[in-house]
Amino acid sequence: MGTERRIASENKLQEDNKVQVKSKERVAAHGEVFTADREVNAMLDLVKSETERIDSRFLEPACGNGNFLAKILERKLAVVRARYGKEQNLYERNALFAVSSIYGIEIQMDNVMECRERLLEIFKNEYLKIFHEKYKQECLESVEFLLLRNVLWGNALDYCEPTEERKPLVFSEWSFLDDGMVKRRDFTFADLVTGQYSLFSDLGVESSATDPVKDYPLVNYTDLNSEAYE
Ligand SMILES: C[S@@+](CC[C@H](N)C(=O)[O-])C[C@H]1O[C@@H](n2cnc3c(N)ncnc32)[C@H](O)[C@@H]1O
């Protein structure tokens, strides 16, 4: 191999490693090695039909900065675009529904923030590409709020925030109704874990979890924000 090609190939390898490993310390402390795109896609292809179902719920209990969640969102949004790309309100409701079905837990706060930002960016790019200046700012704010609620800073092993108080992790179940209203019900993660990770039920039956810790009034999909849920 010529010197230039070898250097280019080493640089590429370093670039890939940089993406997969932030630091040796983080690998040692948290086992943080990110999965490369090729493997993510290959694994998601094993459940391809689920990744293309708008309402299928995914939880990644060690989501890092969102390598799996990002691809799932992209796949779901491609379906929403193909089905509803010509009708803005329907697109928005279904695209938000797609976002609401994606959940993550991550123990390192910087990864949590990166993951939320990354998913928001994916949504925003796609939404603006389709609807240009007709986009609604409040829709983007609803997405931001969904991500704040769905991608949690926590320890997936003890179901709590990684602080001394060990506040229990609480996830929201979002049900999108045909008239654009959204029902939110909160459950502790501990209650949702029954033998294996099972997040609510998305098969048309009531959640098999115990009672919600909180049940909220209906809110329009453009108004999902902290004020609406005060
Ligand atoms: C091997 S990395 C995988 C990240 C991501 N899933 C991916 O495939 O790119 C494991 C991730 O789990 C996080 N982690 C480790 N222990 C955890 C725990 N008890 N609860 C939640 N996240 C944890 C680490 O911070 C790290 O980001």
Q: Is 34:21 a contact under the CB 8 Å cutoff?
A: yes
pLDDT value of position 9? 61
Q: Is the pLDDT of residue 14 over 80?
A: no
Measured in Å, residue 31 CA sits from the centre of ligand 1 at 7
Which pTM does this prediction carry? 0.90
Average pLDDT of the residues in 157-173: 96
Which atom from ligand 1 is nearest to the alpha carbon of 67? 9
CA angle 146, 69, 28 (to 5 degrees): 115
Average pLDDT of the residues in 118-135: 97
- Atom 6 in ligand 1: which residue has the minimum CA distance? 63
**Which residues approach ligand 1 with their CB closer than 6 A?**
30-35, 60, 62-64, 67-68, 105-108, 111, 155-157
DSSP assignments along 120-173, one per residue: HHHHHHHHHHHHGGG--HHHHHHHHHHHHHHEEESBTTTTB-SSTT-PBPEEEE
Span 142-163, pLDDT tens digits: 999 999 999 999 999 999 999 9
Nearest to 12 by CA among 40, 36, 32: 36
How far, rounded to the nearest angstrom, does the alpha carbon of residue 14 sit from its chain's CA centroid? Answer: 28
- Atom 12 in ligand 1: which residue has the minimum CA distance? 62
Exposed/middle/buried for residue 102 (C-beta within 10 Å: 0-12, 13-18, 19+): buried
Output the average pLDDT for the chain. 90
Confidence of residue 19 (pLDDT cuts 50, 70, 90): confident
Which atom from ligand 1 is nearest to the alpha carbon of 20? 9
How far, rounded to the nearest angstrom, does the alpha carbon of residue 21 sit from its chain's CA centroid? Answer: 21
Measured in Å, residue 182 CA sits from the centre of ligand 1 at 31
Span 188-206, pLDDT tens digits: 999 888 644 456 666 554 5
Nearest to 141 by CA among 218, 73, 224: 224
Mode of pairing for the β-strands spanning 58-60 and 214-215:
unpaired
DSSP state of 210: S
Measured in Å, residue 34 CA sits from the centre of ligand 1 at 8
Measured in Å, residue 149 CA sits from the centre of ligand 1 at 18
